[in-house]
Chain A
């Protein structure tokens, strides 16, 4: 699950998955909406492939990407993402509570 966590932790990678959720796409199509280089987008895609969230088919010279449905049970992914979201918020909250106790807030 760690690799999935890392893969889902980045807004660009989540956006790539959101795009693929609409259907298969070429790497260049995926890269188009992002204000970053094709090379950076490719790095994000490789990370998603390593996490088994995305799979790549080669059709002639084209590389077609799609979501890997077996890579992620959606409900488990929601649970993990939701837990990590709340834990991160609680870390912030506890730090704020401690700051206030020390009179720094």
Chain B
């Protein structure tokens, strides 16, 4: 894989699940199941999750909440069931940024321990395409258009 440009910002989360590694691994890949938790929220009004769970396979999740439609897409770049999964993550309507998420799953008693590393390559010093711009996405764009039309 080609080295990505710095700067690189990493968020790491460790979580213990009450289910064996293969169940946790498969939870990312079964569209019906993933659609209930991956890229959705309790206020979601509509969710469509499509996942081609294999190395090089792609996913697309569309979730509508609080009146805004969010679309996430990506490609599985590492795939070792049930211990390791990595994929790219982008929200093309909101940003050109492509993040990378890597998950490692280990057995832990009758459950499993998952470590997730979410890497983004955005330059947070830029006012646009920044954390703000990305997070606030569509509304930000709408307001920009309104401001321009005034």
* A→B interface (CB under 8 Å): 11, 14-15, 17-19, 21-23, 33, 67, 73-75, 77-79, 81-83, 86-87, 89-90, 92-94, 96-98, 100-101
- Contact A74:B130 (CB < 8 A) given known A22-B140, A94-B18: yes
* B66 and A19 contact, CB distance less than 8 A: no
Q: Hey, which chain A residues are within 8 Å of B130, CB to CB?
A: 21, 74
- Count of interface residues, chain B, beta-carbon cutoff 8 Å: 39
Q: Which chain A residues lie closer than 8 Å to B33 at the CB level?
A: 96
- Give which listed residue, B24, B37, B38, B132, contacts A18 with CB less than 8 A: B132
Q: What's the dominant secondary structure at chain A's contact region?
A: helix
- A11 CA to B136 CA in the complex, in Å? 9
Selected A-B contacts with CB under 8 Å, 7 pairs:
A17-B132, A19-B139, A75-B7, A79-B10, A86-B11, A86-B118, A98-B18
Q: Does B9 contact A (CB under 8 A)?
A: yes
Q: How far is the CA of A96 from the CA of B144 in the complex (A)?
A: 39
Could you say which residues of chain A place their CB within 8 Å of the CB of B27?
Answer: 93, 96-97
Contact present for A19 and B143 (CB under 8 Å): yes
Any chain A CB within 8 A of the CB of B147?
Answer: yes
Show the binding face of B for A, using Cβ within 8 Å: 7, 9-13, 15, 17-19, 23-24, 27, 33, 36-38, 66, 114, 116, 118, 120, 122, 124-125, 127, 130-137, 139-140, 143-144, 147
Q: Which residues on the B side are within 8 Å of A93 (C-beta)?
A: 17, 24, 27, 37-38
- Contact across chains for A15 and B136 when beta carbons are under 8 A apart: yes
A18 touches B11 (CB 8 A): no
Residues of B within 8 A of A78 (CB): 9, 11, 120, 122, 124, 131, 134-135
The complex places the Cα of A67 from the Cα of B38 at a distance, in Å, of 31
A74-B124 in contact (CB<8A):
yes
Known contacts A21-B136, A97-B24: does B124 contact A92 (CB below 8 Å)?
no
Please state if B131 and A75 are interface contacts (CB–CB under 8 Å).
Answer: yes
Using known A-B contacts A15-B136, A18-B136, determine if residue A97 contacts B11 with beta carbons closer than 8 Å.
Answer: no
